[in-house]
Amino acid sequence: MSDADLNVEAPSRNPRFGTKPAQFIVDDLIIAHIEKHLGQIRRNLKQYQEKGATAAEFVFPPPRPPAAPIRSRAERFPIRRIFCVGRNYEAHAKEMGVAVDREAPFYFTKASDHYVASGATVPYPAGTTNYHYEMELVVAIGAAGFRIPEAQALDHVFGYACGLDMTRRDLQSAAKEKQRPWDIGKDVEQSAVLGEIAPAAESGHPARGRIELRVNGQTKQSGDVSQLIHSVPAVIAHLSQYYHLQPGDLIYTGTPEGVGPVKPGDRLEGSIDGVGTIALQIGGPA
């Protein structure tokens, strides 16, 4: 069809367009069609753009960040890094056969991927015959900071939770003996167990409170968070000398005495007064 063919007066089948040159009727039809389908066209376009962006940016879809539940909030706490303080209770240092370092705390880390929510069943991990529990107070950082003064440290805390720093003790001990890093003993899959986070805005900052762990109903660990050698503000002040702390960072503050092994089928239940509770079930071999 040429332009000349369209340049004739013709009635449209759509009464809305009346009688006018055919080319205008065609234009009106196109506009009406687009108007009718504009919503769907926009939705399709958005979908194509999103798919296109993902395909261009990543070779496979990235995993969602691990995130912990927060008491009485619908939103979750996205976990960024997991720092752990070693030997921060005197009686635990003693049972590990080492002297306490009062000068400064020391740290190891776990990948945030190893986060496990309280209430889960985890497999008994590979490579160990001495998998241990360590019940701990966990600090959830809510505001960024570097070289934070101890007096302002608590301003950077979002809240607190119960944590279990699960440990392949045999591999940790072997690494220590060989003066190697502890990673294989501590950076264990599904070993960073965390309970619901209690926001400090509601529950405050626990300077004291009973910390307990029971295995199959029997009390194995019992201490008080006031026995921490390096307090929460001291740890934040010290750690932030070396790291730019970020919202989402977690700090496992160390365990009281009474650590010990678990076996498949064991049921762990912990609590810290004023903070909350935690539970873990040990499943069969991984």
Judged by the rule CB under 5 A, the positions of this chain that interact with Mn ion are: 134, 165, 255
Closer to Mn ion by Cβ: residue 221 or 255:
255
Alpha-carbon gap, residue 189 to 111, rounded angstroms = 8
Alpha-carbon gap, residue 126 to 132, rounded angstroms = 13
Closer to Mn ion by Cβ: residue 25 or 89:
89
Beta bridge partners of 13: none
Paired tokens of 119: 């209430």
Least CB distance to Mn ion at residue 199 (A): 24
Paired tokens of 55: 């395909």
Least CB distance to Mn ion at residue 175 (A): 15
Closer to Mn ion by Cβ: residue 155 or 224:
224
* DSSP assigned state of 49: H
Q: Is 172 exposed, middle or buried (0-12, 13-18, 19+ CB in 10 A)?
A: buried
Least CB distance to Mn ion at residue 105 (A): 12
Least CB distance to Mn ion at residue 138 (A): 10
Closer to Mn ion by Cβ: residue 165 or 269:
165
Closer to Mn ion by Cβ: residue 165 or 249:
165
Closest residue to Mn ion, judged by C-beta, is 165
Alpha-carbon gap, residue 24 to 149, rounded angstroms = 74
Nearest to 268 by CA among 122, 144, 130, 50: 122
Least CB distance to Mn ion at residue 88 (A): 8
